[in-house]
Amino acid sequence: MKVIGVGNRWRSDDAAGLIVADRLRSTGIEVVDCEGEPITLIAAFRDEDAVVIVDAVSSGAEPGTVHRLDAAEGPLPAELFAASTHHLGVPDALELARALDRLPAVCVVIGIEAARFEAGDELSPAVEAAVDAAATAVRREVDACMSAHSRTT
């Protein structure tokens, strides 16, 4: 089980996934950052049966809203990632992984609704307030996955 924080630390709320990943590092969960193009997610999936991806999203919901999406069930709504600062977004990378048969069996995306993506190294107040809730959501996903795994072994 691996948690992957996605984002850009120099684009305001786009750093939200990376900040959540930072908060989880001391918990014993395997955490990696994906600060470049999300296509590198495919390499991060190597030998993983389960991943949780954390990223900023933009759906028009209230900033700081925490979304849960199950990418293993089907394509993610591209409009959630329309404000991405990446050329190839998370939904595109996940669909490429699916086409290459490299998408983990468990692939959950925790999205934090962003307020801004402009240059800057600070999160908006609403996103900063949501980071702990997103980290808790990730821990729940990890616990559920580990619990399911222990029941099958």
Domain residue extents for the chain: 2-152
Query: 21-36, pLDDT tens digit by residue?
Result: 999 999 999 999 998 7
Taking every pair of Cα atoms in the chain, the longest distance, rounded to a whole number of angstroms, is 47
pLDDT band at 152 (very low <50, low <70, confident <90, very high): low
- For position 37, what pLDDT does the model report? 77
Q: Would the pLDDT of 80 be above 80?
A: no
What is the rounded distance in angstroms from the CA atom of residue 41 to the CA atom of residue 29?
A: 17
pLDDT band at 79 (very low <50, low <70, confident <90, very high): confident
Q: Which residues contact 6 (CB under 8 A, 6 or more apart)?
A: 17, 18, 34, 35, 38, 41, 53, 54, 55, 90
* 2-152 is classed CATH 3.40.50.720: no
Q: Would the pLDDT of 83 be above 60?
A: no
pLDDT band at 125 (very low <50, low <70, confident <90, very high): very high
What is the pLDDT of the chain when averaged over all its residues?
90
